[in-house]
Each structure stands twice: as structure tokens, then as C-alpha cells.
Structure 1
Amino acid sequence: MMNMGGPSTVPETHDFLSRLFHDGDLIPLPFQNYLAPVIAKRRTPKIEEQYAAIGGGSPILKWTRAQGEGMAQLLDELSPETAPHKAYVAFRYAKPLTEDCLEEMRRDGVERAVAFTQYPQYSCSTTGSSLNEMWKQVAGPEAKKAEKGKEGEKEIKWSVIDRWGVHEGFVDAVARNIEASLLEYPAHLRSSVVLLFSAHSLPMSVVNRGDPYPAEVGATVSAIMARLGNVNPYRLVWQSQVGPSAWLGPQTSDAIKGLGKRHNEMLLVPVAFTSDHIETLFELDLEYLEEAKEMGLTGVKRCASLNDSPYFIRAIADIAAAHLKQSPVQATSPQMGLRCPGCTNEKCGEQKEYFAGFQGLV
């Protein structure tokens, strides 16, 4: 289960930020190796305060493990022919890192694995970065050097679940949380509550090279609104911009301020996150909701994250079961094989070729 991850304790914050800002797939910077440690060091005290404010660290590992354990139990029932199943966690910037995950899999003797992104919508900055790191660890130049000490070790056969933003179960799980939140409003106001679907933003340099993420998030929102009956007015907005460069907008905070001039009732809906972490617990709950209160808005609330939702856990189990029951199993989707029109990252191309190479072998 691949995801960004987060520091489980406050002292882990600097290492998390350092890995994050060194990742050119996520945040492309000029002179990355020079600027990344400078930015990480400068931002660490502020981000440490934010993690302290939400309880002393990110809960994303707790929720990912809970989701994975629930998924694996259901998979044993849904796909007994491929049982037993075990969920492993591979975080990109926090422990357990990709290499930690792979080492655990090797100790367990795993020979068949599914790289299952926990980002519902695909972006080269998120799923792409996690797959690039997985490729680097199992087949890149550094991995080939390490192979000399691992003679006799069987190669893991991989397939990839790279996106699932319009899966019926996922859409239903989010919609159910929205319906529960709408019940907190007076009955005569519920249909007029503005739904603000908030997703992590992207630098426009990434968007303009052809990254599919904005379109895929939009497709998720459309599917959720169809499931809800298209009753409420809504907007897709973006959060978590970093630095002075242009990012995808409008920013969630700006949208609340602008719409707040005419609307009091708004519901913030995390739409690209599968559990609570700093973007929901601090940015949405402690920043944006407080800003709304300062504006005099009394009807701005936040929809619960998926966390341990049984509907969501069933959804990811269904996604995995359907993937495993394909005949033959597709190592990668057709969409994953298509590079962005403006892609210049050769690592991305090699990664895609590597995983596609398991076609017919899994």
C-alpha cells in the first residue's frame, strides 16, 4: 500500500521534510540538492508545531495499517484462490519507507505482489513518484549493485493498481460520509450547503506537462455528485500550495473567503486523501475552519475522512480482488503506460517498462 506517509512523532519531521523536498517528482526545484535541505531546515520548526497541534504526529500509518489489515481479511474471503493475503505499507517520505517494506517482504519470502497506490487519482508527483522509488529499489542501478549479495533470492513478480478514483465503492464511501455530515445541518438548509471538494494542489509546471491528476480528481467529484443526486451546489478546490511558484487553484482558503461573502453553509470534503493526516487535521480543521469562524461564518464544517470506514475498506478489497481475478492479470493498466506529453523524466519511462515487463508472468 503506497502512500506519502507522515512523521509518526514530532522529532521525525525534519527527515520527512528532507525526503519530500529532495523529490523532484513531487516538488520540482532548481538546484534541488542544494535548495531541498535549506528549505527543509527552514520549515521544520513550523511544521513541528503543526504536528504537535494535531496530537504529536501523523495518524496516517495507524489508519493505513488498519485499512490494510481489514482489506487482507476480506480478500481471503473474496479471492480464496490467491490467499493468504498480507498488506505491507510503503511510504515515500516516512517510515516504513519503500526499502523497509521490500525488506519485510523478502524476509517473508513474498514472490507475488501488487503495488497498490493509496492515492485514488494518479499523478506523476504521487503514485508516479512511489512507483519510481519502487523501481529504483528493485531494479534500478543501485538495486543491481546490491543483487550480487542476494544470489538465490527469487524475484518478486509485480502488478500495479495505479488509479481507482471513480470506483463505485470508493465513491459510495465518500458519499456516505457527506450524507452523514449534511445531517448536522438543519433540514431546510441541507440542499443548499455548498460542497467544497478539497484536493492537494499541484505546481502548474507539473499540470502543464500533461499530468492527469486534475482531470481524474474532477472525475471523482462528478461521480460522487451523481451518487448524491446532484442536489447540492459544489466546487472543486485545491489546498497545500508550497512556495511562490504558480499552483493549481483556486486555493481552498481563498474559495471559503470568496464564497463566504454570499454563503454561510459550506462543507469541506477531502477528496484525494484516504485518511486523516496534517492536511485534514491541521490545514482544514485548525486553519481553514478557524478562518471561517473569524469571518463570522457559522455553517462551515468538515466532512469526516475515510479512516476505518467499513465501506471504504470493502471498496479497496473489491478493487484488489477484481485485479487478482483478471484472466490474464494485467501487470499495468493501459493508462499507466502512457507518459505525459511533456515528460522529460527518463526514470519514469524505465519504471513503466519494468512493471509492464511482468505482463504474462503474473
Structure 2
Amino acid sequence: MALQSEYLKSAMDEAGTGARVLFVAHGIPMREVKRGDNYPDKVSENAAMLAETLPAGTDWGLAYQSRVGPIEWTQPYLEDELERLAKSSDPVVIMPLSFVADCLETLYDLDRIAAPELLNRGVSKVVRVPVYNDDPRFIERMAQLVNEVCDA
């Protein structure tokens, strides 16, 4: 959480005054939620905790990406949140929540589709918060967790 907060603060500084934040997570089919998967609850909790680190009054939202097919997926959908954000020219910070390394969803869906769409619709600046990738602090923390489990 501390590392995510650090990444978010840096992106907010880069975006400038009036920046809004969109937390984005990979969606799942609603049938999985109805079967008891609490993933959306955990995503919402993570977004809310990160939002607490934002300057007071910062506009923030949560969206889910990567839905496939005609079935219902977790909402709000990314496309709907982009529509909402495009109504203002204020900067937008996009923060992927459910990815520890860059992948198709971050490098393509967010960087090559979502960000340009917002810019083309008049948003003044879009900053995407990086994911952990090979950050040594993240790797060290993962190693600590593995060691704790192995020692138990």
C-alpha cells in the first residue's frame, strides 16, 4: 500500500492542480461475484484506502476493464468512466489496481486507447500511474512474504 501511495502521489504531482483519479481494475463476470467471489469488494477497499491519501476534495472513481462477450461484468465499465471524465478538461490520473506488471491491459488498453481518447476529447493531461514491474522494493516485499509462508 505504501508503494502504491508513493506512485500515486508522484503521478498526482506530475498531473498538476485539479487532477482527478480513475482507479482501474480488471473486471470479472458477475456470475463469479454471485457465486461468492469478493474480488470487487477488495478492489473497492483498495481504491478507498488509496483515495484517503489524495488531497481533500479530489474527484476519484473506480472502473473495470477488459470485459468480453455479452454477459454482465463488474461495473462501472471503463468506457462509462472515460465518458464521465471527458466532460471536463481537468487532468486525469489513471491508476491500475489489479496488475503488478505491465501487460496488454496497461500498455494497450490504458496507454494506447484510454489515455488518447481522453486527450482527444479535451482532457488537458493524462498520467498513468506505473505498476510495480521490477521495482526492487516490491520484489523484496514479495520475497519476505514467501519466506514467511515457507517458515510457517
Structure 1 residues 298 and 309, CA, compared in 2 at 3 Å: closer, same or farther? same
In the aligned structure 2, how far is the partner of 1:263 from the partner of 1:217? Answer: 27
Indicate yes or no: 2:135 matched with 1:309. Answer: yes
| Counterpart residue number, 1:289 | 115
Quick check: 1:200–1:238 contact (8 Å CA) kept in 2?
yes
2:86 aligned residue: 260
After superposition, residues 11-50 of structure 1 pair within 5 angstroms as none
Tell me the equivalent position of 1:271: 97
C-alpha displacement at 1:263, in angstroms?
A: 5.2
Q: How far apart, CA to CA, are the structure 2 residues paired with 1:258 and 1:321?
A: 44
1:267/1:302 contact within 8 Å kept: yes
Instruction: Determine which structure has greater relative contact order: mean sequence separation of CA pairs < 8 Å that are 6+ residues apart, divided by chain length.
Output: 2
CA contact (8 A) 1:266 1:300 kept: yes
Task: Give the Cα separation in 2 of the matches to 1:324 and 1:214.
Answer: 29
Q: Secondary structure in 2 aligned to 1:248? A: coil
TM-score by length of 2: 0.89
Instruction: Determine what percentage of the aligned residue pairs are the same residue.
Output: 28
* CA distance 1:233–1:324, shift in 2 (3 Å): farther
Hey, what's the Cα distance between the residues in 1 that align with 2:40 and 2:103? 21
Counterpart of 1:248 (choices 68, 71, 74) is 74
In structure 1, stretches of 5+ residues that fail to align are 1-170, 330-362
SS in structure 2 at match of 1:245: coil
Number of residue pairs aligned between Structure 1 and Structure 2: 151
> Which one-letter code corresponds to 1:184 in the other structure?
E
Secondary structure of 2:15 counterpart: coil
TM-score (norm 1): 0.39
Q: How does 1:136-215 map to 2 (within 5 A)?
A: 171-186=1-16, 189=17, 192-215=18-41
How many Å apart are 1:313 and its aligned residue? Answer: 1.5
Shift of 1:252: 1.6
Mark the CA change 1:283 to 1:302 in structure 2 (over 3 Å): closer, same or farther: same
User: Given that residues 199 and 238 in structure 1 are in contact (C-alpha distance below 8 angstroms), is that contact kept between their aligned partners in structure 2?
Assistant: yes
1:7-36 CA-partner distances (Å, limit 9, x unpaired): xxxxxxxxxxxxxxxxxxxxxxxxxxxxxx
Contact map agreement 1:173 1:309 (CA 8 A) in 2: no
Tell me how large the CA RMSD over aligned residues is. 1.8
- Spell out structure 1 runs of 4+ moving beyond 4 A: none
Q: 1:286 to 1:229 in 2, by over 3 A?
A: closer
Separation in 2, partners of 1:302, 1:253: 16
What pairs up with 1:43-192 in 2 under 5 angstroms? 171-186=1-16, 189=17, 192=18
Tell me how far apart the structure 2 counterparts of residues 316 and 223 of structure 1 sit (CA, whole Å): 21
